[in-house]
Structure formats: structure tokens, C-alpha cells
């Protein structure tokens, strides 16, 4: 980036977060596939999502096992083997231009254990969209495939179906990514002031914590603009997870942090903000509070794996390049 003040924190040169290959943007007539790598989704919601995507001019396919439910563990969308197979086949199919995850929930790490990443490396880069438990997939695709992904709505849920603003944000990110390089929200402000350059990554705090030191996980947050959000977690558990990431050294060298929403995380948001300030201010990096991504209505879609400028003072995250090529 040019014209940035000398006060900007420069991303360190170390093994950590790096710029990734951007998949092509979508165009009318492209074929996309809906997959369920985590928890199951109601059929009527899935059909509604497919209808919206068809309205965008896309050819929509549903993965063969997308409607299944695990016979013994009903919180999972089918067996681990079939969830992994659907994800892998969607990625490797040259006729598929993007992969939409229909729900987060549970089971992403179980799915990843059965994916053949050697086979997936032979596939062409394409957009992968989702959030929450899909954070595990974002991390694995970055580490194993070197491909940028999109932290955006899981389309078989209320975070997409019936949410016109979230739909518009995702549509613009996928079809006209050049119009979505400056990201902000009305209440976004500095928790810790400053600016930082780095590469966007992250997502759900619980999934990042649970994936630490496991296969397909990132070794370090060094050089990254870390996105964090979560849902339905007690503030003390948020403290434990964030402290764990800090104590392991995983966050050493992180350039900046953008904090999203903390839906159903009691007590009030002021206590969570104080927790984040307490844990992150000693790092000496800018921290942005109130960027509306995560488990919320009208959520922002944020590309992961692209260079960006975090300006906590202005309440913005500005991508150096569009999220899709």
C-alpha cells in the first residue's frame, strides 16, 4: 500500500500468515455446489437458499449427501466420510466455480481429518464461503491449498435466508469484489488505537483455539490481521481461550486484531470489550472493536488471505486488493 503513515505497524517477516491465491470472482451462469461439512440444515431453508442463489444467475447443485444426518450423532450432517467426500468432490470438480457451506455448528475438524488434500491440490482455486465452524476449513484451505476464502454467511441459515443485507454483501463480494475493499460498520471504533498492515485470517475464536497444534492448522498468527468473533460463550471461557492462544506463543507477531460480534456471550458487551483490551493491549498492536461480522444479522463478508490495512482510529479494514480476482 502507498501513502501510509510511518506509524503503521509493519507485518514481520516470519513463518505465519501469508498472502494467498485469490480465486476468480463469480459471474452469471457459473455453477456452484452446496455442501454440509458440519451440522445438518432444514430442507426448507436449504431450498430457500438455493432459490436466492439461482436468482443471482447461478446454476446451483446440492451435494449428494447434503440432506443427511448422522445415524447416531444427530448434531452432525451425515457420516464424517460422506461430509468429507462431498466437500472434496465439490472442490475437485472442474465444472464447479464456488463451494457454499450451508451451516456451521459442529464437526468441521472431524471432516477435515478425512479429506484428501493431495487430491484437492490438483483442483483449481474457487471461492469457499462460510463462517463459524467453517473457520476450521478456512484455516485448512489456507495452510494446505494456499487459497483465499470468504468469511461470509452459511447459506442454509437465518444468517442468509431472509437477510437481504447479508445477501447483498455476499453477492457484491463474490460478483463485484472491487466494490468491497473498504469494510466498516456504524459502531466500529478503536479499542486500541493505531494502524497495521497484514493479511486477513481467522474467524471463530473457539475453532481457532480448538484447532491449535492440530493437522492443517496454522503455526503462527505472525504477520496477520486476525479476525475474532464467537457466539454463546461465557466471558470467562472467552478469556481462557484467548489466554491460551497468547500463552502458546501463537499470537506472537500478529499485526492487528479486528473484533466482530459476540452474540449471546453474557454478561454485557462492555465486559467483553474490557476483556479484549486487557488481553490484547499489551501486544502493542491496533485493535478494532465492532466490525459487524460473525453471528449477527446483516453480517459483512470478509475475504481471508488478502493483504489489508487495519485502521482502528477510523474504524476500517481496507483490502489492498479485491478478495476475488
Sign, CA dihedral 85-303-124-26, equals positive
Closest CA to 77 of 54, 45, 125, 53: 45
Instruction: Write out the H or E segment, with its range, that includes residue 237.
Output: helix 235-247
Residue 91 Cα distances to 46, 109, 316, angstroms: 20, 17, 32
295 is catalytic: yes
Task: List the catalytic residue out of 65, 151, 216, 295.
Answer: 295
C-alpha cell at 80: 464424517
**In 3-state terms, what secondary structure has residue 6?**
coil
Strand 31-35, strand 98-101: pairing: parallel
229 is catalytic: yes
233 is catalytic: no
Residue 69 burial (C-beta neighbours within 10 Å; 0-12, 13-18, 19+): middle
Closest CA to 195 of 13, 12, 4: 4
Task: List the catalytic residue out of 39, 65, 132, 185.
Answer: 132
Task: List the catalytic residue out of 229, 233, 292, 301.
Answer: 229
Q: Show which residues are catalytic.
A: 132, 229, 295
Amino acid at each position: 500500500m502507498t501513502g501510509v503513515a510511518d506509524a503503521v505497524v509493519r507485518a514481520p517477516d516470519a513463518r505465519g500468515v501469508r498472502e494467498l491465491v485469490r480465486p476468480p470472482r463469480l459471474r452469471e451462469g457459473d455453477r456452484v455446489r452446496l455442501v454440509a461439512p458440519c451440522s445438518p440444515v432444514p430442507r426448507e431453508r436449504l431450498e430457500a437458499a438455493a432459490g436466492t442463489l439461482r436468482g443471482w444467475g447461478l446454476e446451483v447443485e446440492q451435494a449428494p449427501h447434503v440432506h443427511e444426518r448422522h445415524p447416531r450423532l444427530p448434531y452432525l450432517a451425515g457420516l464424517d466420510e460422506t461430509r468429507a467426500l462431498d466437500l472434496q468432490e465439490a472442490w475437485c470438480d472442474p465444472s464447479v466455480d464456488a463451494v457454499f457451506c450451508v451451516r456451521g455448528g459442529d464437526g468441521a475438524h472431524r471432516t477435515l481429518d478425512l479429506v484428501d488434500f493431495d487430491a484437492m491440490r490438483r483442483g483449481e482455486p474457487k471461492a469457499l464461503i462460510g463462517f463459524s465452524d467453517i473457520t476450521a476449513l478456512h484455516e485448512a484451505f489456507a495452510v494446505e491449498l494456499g487459497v483465499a476464502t470468504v468469511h461470509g454467511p452459511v447459506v442454509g441459515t437465518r444468517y442468509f435466508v431472509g437477510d437481504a443485507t447479508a445477501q447483498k454483501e455476499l453477492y457484491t463480494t463474490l460478483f463485484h469484489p472491487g466494490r468491497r475493499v473498504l469494510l466498516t460498520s456504524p459502531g466500529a471504533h478503536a479499542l486500541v488505537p493505531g494502524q497495521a498492515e497484514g493479511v486477513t485470517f481467522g474467524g471463530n475464536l473457539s475453532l481457532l483455539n480448538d484447532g491449535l497444534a492440530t493437522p492443517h492448522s496454522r503455526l503462527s498468527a505472525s504477520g496477520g490481521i486476525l479476525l475474532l468473533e464467537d457466539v454463546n460463550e461465557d466471558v470467562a471461557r472467552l478469556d481462557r481461550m484467548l489466554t491460551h492462544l497468547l500463552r502458546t506463543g501463537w499470537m506472537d507477531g500478529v499485526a492487528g486484531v479486528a473484533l466482530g460480534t459476540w452474540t449471546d456471550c453474557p454478561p454485557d458487551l462492555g465486559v467483553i470489550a474490557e476483556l479484549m483490551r486487557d488481553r490484547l493491549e499489551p501486544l502493542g498492536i491496533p485493535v478494532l472493536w465492532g466490525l459487524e461480522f460473525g453471528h449477527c444479522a446483516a453480517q459483512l463478508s470478509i475475504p481471508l488471505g488478502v493483504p489489508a490495512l487495519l485502521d482502528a482510529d477510523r474504524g476500517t479494514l481496507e483490502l489492498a486488493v479485491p478478495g476475488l480476482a
